[in-house]
Structure 1
Amino acid sequence: MSSKLSFISLVASLLAGIPVARSSEAYPSLPTWKCTTSGGCLQQNTSVVLDQDSKYTQGAAGSRTTADYTAMGVSTSGDALTMYHYVTTNGTLNAASPRVYLLGADSKYVLMDLLNQELSVDVDYSTLPCGENGAFYLSEMAADGGGGAGAAAGTGYCDAQCPQGACCNEMDVLEANSEATAMTPHPCDGDSCDSGGCGYNPYASGQHSFWGPGLTVDTSQPFTVTTQFTASGGTLTQITRSYTQNGRQIVGGGTISTCGTDSSSTGLTGIGNALGRGMVLAMSIWNDATQEMAWLDAGTNGPCASGAGTPSNIESQHPDTHVVFSNIRWGDIGSTATG
Structure 2
Amino acid sequence: MSFKLALVSLAVSLLARIPVVQSSEDYPLLPTWKCTTSEGCLQQNTSVVLDQDSKLAHGAAGSRTTADYSAMGVSTSGNALTMYHYVKTVAASPRVYLRGEDGKYVLMSLLNQELSVDVDLSTLPCGENGAFYLSEMAADGGGGAGAGQGYCDAQCQGYCCNEMDILEANSMATAMTPHPCKDKTCDKGGCGYNPYASGQRNFWGSGKTVDTSKVFTVVTQFVASGGKLSQITRKYIQNGRQIGGGGTISSCGSEGSTGGLTGMGQALGRGMVLAMSIWNDAAQQMAWLDAGSNGPCTSGQGTPSNIQSQHPDTHVVFSNIRWGDIGSTTKG
The verdict on a shared fold, with TM-score over 0.5 as the criterion, is yes
Aligned to 2:14: none
Given candidates 206, 209, 212, the residue that maps to 2:202 is 209
2:44 partner letter:
Q
Whole-Å Cα distance in 2 between the matches of residues 171 and 163 of structure 1?
A: 14
Aligned to 1:48: 48
Aligned-pair distance for 1:338? 2.9
Residue 284 of structure 1: SS of its match in structure 2? strand
Aligned to 2:114: 118
Residue 83 of structure 2: SS of its match in structure 1? strand
1:73 partner letter:
G
1:237 partner letter:
S
Given candidates 170, 177, 189, the residue that maps to 1:177 is 170
Aligned to 1:101: 97
Aligned to 1:158: 152
Q: How many percent of aligned residue pairs carry the same amino acid?
A: 81
Cα shift readout 1:232-257 (whole Å, capped 9, x = no counterpart): 11100000000000001000100000
2:82 partner letter:
T
Whole-Å Cα distance in 2 between the matches of residues 229 and 133 of structure 1?
A: 23
2:227 partner letter:
G
Q: Is the 8 A contact 1:263 1:269 kept in 2?
A: no
Whole-Å Cα distance in 2 between the matches of residues 273 and 195 of structure 1?
A: 18
Cα shift readout 1:89-117 (whole Å, capped 9, x = no counterpart): xxxx1000000000000000000000000
Aligned-pair distance for 1:262? 2.5
Alignment of 1:135 onto 2:131 = yes
Whole-Å Cα distance in 1 between the matches of residues 254 and 54 of structure 2?
A: 36
Given candidates 203, 215, 222, the residue that maps to 2:215 is 222
Pair 107,294 (structure 1): closer, same or farther in 2 beyond 3 Å: same
Whole-Å Cα distance in 2 between the matches of residues 67 and 266 of structure 1?
A: 38
Residue 163 of structure 1: SS of its match in structure 2? coil
Whole-Å Cα distance in 1 between the matches of residues 96 and 327 of structure 2?
A: 27
Pair 110,264 (structure 1): closer, same or farther in 2 beyond 3 Å: farther
Q: Is the 8 A contact 1:56 1:67 kept in 2?
A: no
Whole-Å Cα distance in 2 between the matches of residues 293 and 215 of structure 1?
A: 21
Superposition RMSD on alpha carbons, in Å? 1.6
Alignment of 1:267 onto 2:263 = no
Residue 28 of structure 2: SS of its match in structure 1? coil
Mark the structure with the bigger radius of gyration. Answer: 2
Q: Is the 8 A contact 1:175 1:183 kept in 2?
A: yes
Whole-Å Cα distance in 1 between the matches of residues 120 and 83 of structure 2?
A: 11
User: Which runs of no fewer than 5 residues in structure 2 stay unpaired?
Assistant: 1-20
Aligned-pair distance for 1:58? 4.8
TM-score, normalised with respect to structure 2? 0.90
Q: Is the 8 A contact 1:58 1:65 kept in 2?
A: no
Given candidates 297, 309, 327, the residue that maps to 2:290 is 297
Aligned to 1:10: none
Aligned to 1:17: none
Aligned-pair distance for 1:57? 6.1
Residue 175 of structure 1: SS of its match in structure 2? strand
After TM superposition, which residue ranges in structure 1, 4 or more long, deviate above 3 angstroms?
56-59
Aligned-pair distance for 1:55? 1.7
1:144 partner letter:
D
Residue 296 of structure 1: SS of its match in structure 2? helix
Cα shift readout 1:101-154 (whole Å, capped 9, x = no counterpart): 00000000000000000000000000000000000000000000012xx10110
Whole-Å Cα distance in 2 between the matches of residues 177 and 146 of structure 1?
A: 32
Aligned-pair distance for 1:30? 0.1
Whole-Å Cα distance in 1 between the matches of residues 200 and 253 of structure 2?
A: 23
Q: Is the 8 A contact 1:22 1:152 kept in 2?
A: no
Q: Is the 8 A contact 1:83 1:284 kept in 2?
A: yes
Cα shift readout 1:296-337 (whole Å, capped 9, x = no counterpart): 000000000111000000000000000000000000000001
Cα shift readout 1:134-185 (whole Å, capped 9, x = no counterpart): 00000000000012xx101100000000014x11000000000000000000
> How many residues are paired up?
308
Q: Which has the higher helix share?
A: 2
1:157 partner letter:
Y
